[in-house]
Amino acid sequence: MKEYKTAKGWAIFIYIAAPIMIGFLFMPILLLLIPSWRTNETADFFWFAVPISLILIAYMIAGIADTIVSKVTLTEQSIEYKNILFSRSIQLNEIKGFRIDDKYLCIEPKTSGVKRIKISKYFGNLEDLIDFLDSKYHDLDELEAEERYQKIMENNSFGFSTSERQSQFQTARRSAKILNWVAGIIAAWTFFYPHPYLLAIIAAILCPIAAIVLLRLFNGLIHLEEKKNSPHPSVFLAFFIPSMALFLRAMLDLNVYNFEKLWWLLPLMVLPLTAVVLLGSREFDWRKGQSILMALVVLGITSAYGFGAILCTNCALDQSNAAEFHAQILGKDRSTGKTTTYHLSLEPLDFDYPLDEAQVDKVTYQRVAISDTVRVLFFEGRWGIPWLEVRP
């Protein structure tokens, strides 16, 4: 018989961290019980903080208890799993196989009425148990992936012979991999250093289109969604990452002061593009909720893509004559986070658009000071979406 418990490192961490957290969470309760300790706490604070503290304290205590109690026992007849809530057991001759993901080892039974055992990877010496299972049972993920691969090899729509289907499959994998890598590089270029600007924007616009072309070109062998245990190569990254880069560039770079025309153009681009992706791919089964969820994801991505593509090209391709105004800087502001943006507060302009703040690049932000006068240039936009630019 062998026993597996929470790894020593994690157990020590829980035994130290949980009591510290309990002490911290006990403070609102102490403030409620000892009025002399209070400062400016209101009744609303206690109505909110005390129940939350009690819930979290109970959770911490349960975590400590679970660390003490939880164990996996391997005997000659069965595998047993016990925690503070329940215990489960599967006879060795009733085990169908196992699955491993990033967080859990799952042992699946042959009988549908028997519940599977799900073991956290925070258990110590779990490799020994995995080696035991691997020596006697199938890795169900590998088995499922192999079955799906064999279905591809038997599908005549991917070739008339097995060798032809294998060749087509390898070509599809190679093409998807190359496109994903190229799209990742272009997305990084577009987001981090878009110079020359127009070329970076055009490259980012072409990547999702190339992904759609591959979906159609390989007749269902390449999928958009990357599913677990699916041998089908995926171009999701090539579709998603450049779209997000375009969206972020539009949000970070451009001062659009009238979006009315955009809201007319966006559906004209997004809806046909979404339809081409969803209806042109064989991977979606509309009887399943997962496909409907993926359709919503695709709609969100194409919306971001359309938003970025329309606005970026509207400004980058604009050749209209600018209407120039001058404004005094009333204030400066820098917003930091995953990205840093720079803003200038400006005096009101004698213009139809009530401008009081504009986003600028880092160079302009550093060159100007409060009370300086800057040039504000208003452009018509290549697609009729008016925008402005602030220059020293």
Give the confidence band of 209 by pLDDT, cuts at 50, 70, 90: very high
* pLDDT surpasses 70 at 258: yes
- Single-letter residue type at 337: G
Alpha-carbon dihedral angle through residues 195, 201, 206, 211, given to the nearest 10 degrees: 90
Confidence of residue 285 (pLDDT cuts 50, 70, 90): low
- CATH class for the region spanning 323-391: mainly beta
Radius of gyration of the chain (CA): 30
Residue in the block written with tokens 């994998």: 173
| 46 band by pLDDT with thresholds 50, 70 and 90 | confident
Mean pLDDT of 210-227: 87
Provide the residue ranges of all domains of the chain, joining segments of one domain with +. Answer: 1-136, 162-316, 323-391
Residue 343: the pLDDT is 84
Q: What does the longest C-alpha to C-alpha distance in the chain come to?
A: 87
CATH topology of domain 1-136: PH-domain like (2.30.29)
Q: How far apart are CA 372 and CA 221, in angstroms?
A: 60
How far, in whole angstroms, is CA 189 from its chain's centroid?
20
Integer angstrom CA distances of residue 247 from 295, 297, 308: 19, 15, 4
Burial class (CB in 10 A: 0-12, 13-18, 19+), 226: middle
> What value does the mean pLDDT take over residues 194-208?
95
Q: Which of 71-75, 83-87, 301-305 has the highest mean pLDDT?
A: 301-305
β-strands 255-256, 78-82: how paired?
unpaired
Look over the chain and give the mean of its residue pLDDT values, rounded to a whole number: 87
Within 10 Å of residue 122's Cβ, how many Cβ atoms? 18
Residues 6 or more apart in contact with residue 98 via CB below 8 angstroms: 105, 106, 107, 108, 130, 133, 134, 137, 138, 139, 140
Residue bearing the bigger pLDDT, 332 or 182: 182
| Residue owning tokens 């200038």 | 344
CB 348 within 8 A of CB 286: no
Which of the four pLDDT bands, split at 50, 70 and 90, describes residue 61?
Answer: very high
**Residues composing the chain:** 392
Question: How many whole angstroms separate alpha carbon 321 and alpha carbon 355?
Answer: 20
Query: Please, are residues 67 and 123 in contact by the beta-carbon 8 Å criterion?
Result: no
CA dist list (Å): 193 to 49, 147, 240:
46, 44, 19
Amino acid occupying residue 40: N
Contacts of 254 (CB under 8 A, 6+ apart): 311, 312, 315, 387
**d(C-alpha 65, C-alpha 54), whole Å:** 16
Same fold, 1-136 and 323-391: no
Helices (H) and strands (E) in the chain, counts: 11, 14
Instruction: Answer yes or no: are the C-beta atoms of 14 and 64 closer than 8 Å.
Output: yes
Average pLDDT over residues 32-38: 78
Mode of pairing for the β-strands spanning 387-391 and 2-4: unpaired
Cα 144 to chain centroid, rounded: 26
Per-residue pLDDT tens over the stretch 97-153: 999 888 899 999 988 888 899 999 888 888 898 999 999 999 988 888 888 888 888
